[in-house]
Amino acid sequence: MEHIIRQYKLEQGALEVQYIEECFTEFKGKKTAEEIIGRLKDREHLILLSMAPSGDDDAVLIPVAYKIGHELRAQETNLKLSDLVGQVRDVVEFENRKIFYSWIGGTRTEWRGQGRYRALTEQQEEWAHARGYHELVVKTKNRFYGMRATLDHLNFDVIKFQRHLRNNRESKVYLSKKIAAEVLRQHQTSRSVVEAA
Ligand SMILES: CC(C)(COP(=O)(O)OP(=O)(O)OC[C@H]1O[C@@H](n2cnc3c(N)ncnc32)[C@H](O)[C@@H]1OP(=O)(O)O)[C@@H](O)C(=O)NCCC(=O)NCCS
């Protein structure tokens, strides 16, 4: 299967992700376009959506999976990001290295198990490598078993576990992947990437 991926610019991409997040029951704090734009506007970022035939009309493609990532600097002023950097500073080397944070993503239920998240992840890695990034960092929670299993299949290494004091299922798990040319050679998906508005 060749995956059709659209790479969006900021405003339209933020709207598309706001729409698609409405379809996820797993997410409590769904991201708004405003929040996404606020986070990404002053930093290098990548917004990718995986497209599938709509069902009603196979010529019409709809977004069914998405992935957003952005650069993560050693010095962050945004509170959430400075907290993130504080958490991983002892396990991620920032000096003279570019770090990419794989922020949010998912695949709509009916389209899971088709390799779409792998395709988006591999595309993100290819893009990040081309722009000189050295490492991808991602954060999840103990209770997100599907995501943990997926990140395992995608060869992310656990770099830190931050235990939640009252409920261990809420504990945070930090993972990372160093992106050298060798990693790109191991990619498995076939992808066509189109730049959208
Ligand atoms: C996790 C999620 C993104 C996977 O999307 P997907 O498009 O079905 O994933 P893919 O088909 O690309 O699978 C990628 C790999 O992960 C594995 N995988 C995916 N879901 C899995 C699951 N629930 N259990 C075990 N392995 C799983 C696949 O077997 C595949 O491995 P392979 O390529 O080596 O064969 C999707 O289930 C999802 O959106 N879940 C909800 C999001 C979520 O929980 N987010 C938590 C916040 S971090």
Our mutation pick for probing the ligand 1 site, out of 22, 110, 143, 153, counting the most ligand atoms within 8 A of Cβ, is 153
- Residue in this structure with the two tokens 């235990």, named with its chain if needed: 163
- Cross-strand bridge partners of residue 106: 66
Nearest residue by C-alpha to atom 13 in ligand 1: 115
Nearest residue by C-alpha to atom 27 in ligand 1: 150
CATH of the domain at 13: 3.40.630.30
State the pLDDT at residue 101: 98
Q: Which residues contact 15 (CB under 8 A, 6 or more apart)?
A: 33
Q: Which residues line ligand 1 (CB under 6 A)?
A: 26, 65, 106-107, 112-118, 140, 144, 146-147, 149-150, 153
pTM over 0.85: yes
Q: How many domains does the chain have?
A: 1
| Domain hosting residue 39, numbered range | 2-195
Query: Would strands 135-141 and 99-107 be described as parallel, antiparallel, or unpaired?
Result: parallel
Q: Pull the structure tokens for residue 143.
A: 């209770």
Per-residue pLDDT of the chain in tens (197 residues, 90 and over written 9): 999 999 999 999 999 999 999 999 887 889 999 999 999 999 999 999 999 999 888 899 999 999 999 999 999 999 999 999 999 999 999 999 999 999 999 999 999 999 999 999 999 999 999 999 999 999 999 999 999 999 999 999 999 999 999 999 999 999 999 999 999 999 999 999 999 97
